Each structure stands twice: as structure tokens, then as C-alpha cells.
Amino acid sequence: MPEMPEVQGLVEFLAGRIAGLRITRATVANIAALKTYDPPIEALREASVRGVTRHGKFVDVATDAAHLVFHLAKAGWLRWYDQLPSTIIKPGRTPIALRVAFDDGAGFDLTEAGTKKSLAVYVVRDPQDVPGIARLGPDPLDPQFTRDAFATLLAGRRTQIKGVLRDQSIIAGIGNAYSDEILHAARMSPYALAANLSDAEIDGLYAAMTETVTDAVAAASGKPPADLKDAKRRGMRVHGRRGETCPVCGDTVRSVFFADNSLEYCPTCQTGGKILADRRLSRLLK
């Protein structure tokens, strides 16, 4: 799933490539992906792009007619073309959800792999009209999101810290992969309760979060969309590394599997050497 660093990479790429261009065509191939009807998708035709920004994991293409907002969900991605193909999209027979063409001949497709379709496209007058954006918590790279602001968010939450980091209404942009990386850098169990963290643990977690996200954004900066996924994988120390060696201590990276995802962690670095039971709502094995 694309998370904040990769989405920021996409935003920077698009901002440098399409700002000032005119949209000549916006074609929906998967009608279920389009979540709005007013303004209609046709409102984007002949609209000029004013800029591209990010809200959590949402990309916002602002035009002089409306905002084209999209969320790539778990299996979505953006495929860029310097020269957009002239082939006709046949709904129901393609992984393409949306195709956007610009007046210089370039364009992009939003694609989604698999059968579970969650990619979402919105055409709105204001980004805050998108429910997912309206409920977002603070961005971890916002200068106003200080250590004390972070501590305030954690206070009283009897929730596992892994879930807190992934909850977009609490902190925007961090998902499954980077929460694993942050917790590994902080040497913290994913099952630690947010309300029980000491001041020192909050200090370490905040530092790990800001450093991990900052480094990942820097690694994604300047890369074209086709290279962002591989760059993300290469930067991971524990996420997606089950069975490999922890680069910090040399222990074996372990996984806990859930219904539709998994988490990865290092027992030595994060759980005092204890192995987390591999079942939903697991507890530390005794």
C-alpha cells in the first residue's frame, strides 16, 4: 500500500510535470472507483492544473474547475506516460480505474491489482468535502506536530501503539509498513499500550517516527512513479522481511499474520526476545 512517503513522491513528480497543463480528458473505467457525482467528472475537461498537494495518503490535483482527489488504497498505483496510449479503455476488462490526459500529450492511469477494489476517486469543490480528508489527524511532518502534541494524542488511549500509528484520524499518512519501521527504530513492541508509555518511550517513539518518515520522504523525492515501489522495499528493515536477519541485532525478523495483512518485528529489538503469537489479538507467549 502506498503510504505518505510514496504519495509525497507522486505529488512532487506530478507537481513538476502537470502544473499549468490543461486536462483534455478524464475517463472513468471502473465506475465503482468514482465516489462523487457533483461536480461531474466532465467538469475536469479543459480545466487547467493549478497545483498538486497531499492530504495524508490522498493526492489532490487542484484545477480551476474542481479538485481531482484520489486514494490509491491497498493495491492501487499511478502509471505515468510521457505520451499517453491511444488505445480505447474497455470497462471491466482492465485494471485501469481512471485515465487522465493532458494537452501536451502526456497523462496517467490509476490502476488497481486484484479483485478487491478499494481505489477511490473524487471530484470536489473543496478537498474537505472528501470524508477521508475531513477526518485526518495531524501530519507527522507538520512543524506544529511537536513531541508534546504527540504525547497529548497518546494520553489515555488504551490502544496498541501499532494501531494508533496506523489510525488516519489520529496521525495522517502512516500505514502498515512504516508503522513497523517506526516501532523497530523505537525498539518498541507493536502491542505496547499507548496510554502506558513513559516519557522516555514517547521521546524515543516520536524521534523514530519523524526520522523514519523524513528519511523515507527524502528517498522518494525526485523518483518517477515507476521507481517508487522498489525504493520503498529497499528501504525497509523489518517490514516484508520475515525470515531475514535484523540489520541491528542479527536476530530473525518475525511476522504476525491477520486476516488481510501482517506485521513484522524483531524479537530481540522490540519484545525482549519473546515471540508474538501468530493469531489475531495475540498476546506475548509465556
pTM for this prediction: 0.93
| H helix intervals, the chain | 4-18, 131-134, 147-154, 161-166, 176-186, 199-220, 225-235, 267-270
With cut-offs at 50, 70 and 90, classify the pLDDT of residue 283. Answer: very low
Give the pLDDT confidence score for residue 90 in this predicted structure.
79
Domain boundaries, the chain: 4-134, 147-270
Give the pLDDT confidence score for residue 91 in this predicted structure.
74
Torsion sign across C-alpha atoms 111, 137, 150, 156: negative
With cut-offs at 50, 70 and 90, classify the pLDDT of residue 10. Answer: very high
Edge-first strand listing for the sheet containing 96-102: 23-28, 96-102, 107-112, 76-81
Give the pLDDT confidence score for residue 261 in this predicted structure.
85
Rounded to an integer, what distance in angstroms lies between the CA atom of residue 42 and that of residue 35? 14
pLDDT tens-digit profile of 157-214? 999 999 999 999 999 999 999 999 999 999 999 999 999 999 999 999 999 999 999 9
With cut-offs at 50, 70 and 90, classify the pLDDT of residue 279. Answer: low
Peptide bond into 39 cis (omega under 30): yes
Give the pLDDT confidence score for residue 260 in this predicted structure.
78
Give the pLDDT confidence score for residue 94 in this predicted structure.
86
Report how far Cα 44 is from the mean position of its chain's Cα atoms.
25
Secondary structure of residue 118 in the 3-state scheme: coil
Give the pLDDT confidence score for residue 89 in this predicted structure.
84
Q: Are 98 and 121 in contact (CB under 8 A)?
A: yes
DSSP-assigned letters across all residues of 61-87: EEESS-EEEEE-TTTEEEEEESS---P
CATH of domain 147-270: 1.10.8.50
pLDDT tens-digit profile of 114-167? 778 899 999 999 999 999 999 999 999 999 999 999 999 999 999 999 999 999
Give the pLDDT confidence score for residue 226 in this predicted structure.
93
pLDDT tens-digit profile of 65-119? 999 999 999 999 999 999 999 888 877 778 999 999 999 999 999 999 877 889 9
Mean pLDDT, the chain, integer: 94
Regarding beta strands 254-257 and 262-265, do their DSSP bridges make them parallel or antiparallel, or are they unpaired?
antiparallel
Residue 281 predicted with pLDDT over 70: no
Looking at the structure, give the CATH architecture of the domain made up of residues 4-134. Answer: Alpha-Beta Barrel (3.20)
Nearest partner of 108 among 151, 150, 66, 78, judged by Cα: 78
pLDDT tens-digit profile of 230-253? 999 999 999 999 999 999 999 999
Residue 285 predicted with pLDDT over 60: no
